Amino acid sequence: MGKTYFVYILASKRNGTLYVGVTDKLAERIWQHKEGVADSFTKKNNVKILVYVESYPTPQEAIHREKCIKRWKRDWKIELIEGLNPRWDDLYDSLQS
């Protein structure tokens, strides 16, 4: 079985500041954001709520998707989040199960 790569969106709160990232170790990376040990943008803006995740079989596909989403208008990102997570629940706990 191959590795999985993830594109994720973090939020500071519902309709708050958004951050789009990519990783192959999702639970570890989100923990880093939550603990403030990673990426000064998320720490500075208190962006810690995992609100959206997609998975890909190759790093190239994940990086391409991350770059596409980063270029999107904010409204499009919100529609993407609310399409799968309308209450903006923190999905981090589901990674721990």
Number of domains making up the chain:
1
Is pLDDT above 90 for 21?
yes
- pLDDT tens-digit series, residues 36-67: 986 579 999 999 999 999 999 999 999 999 99
**CATH of residue 60:** 3.40.1440.10
**Which structural domain, as residue segments, surrounds residue 81?**
5-95
Residue 74: the pLDDT is 97
d(CA 60, CA 41): 24
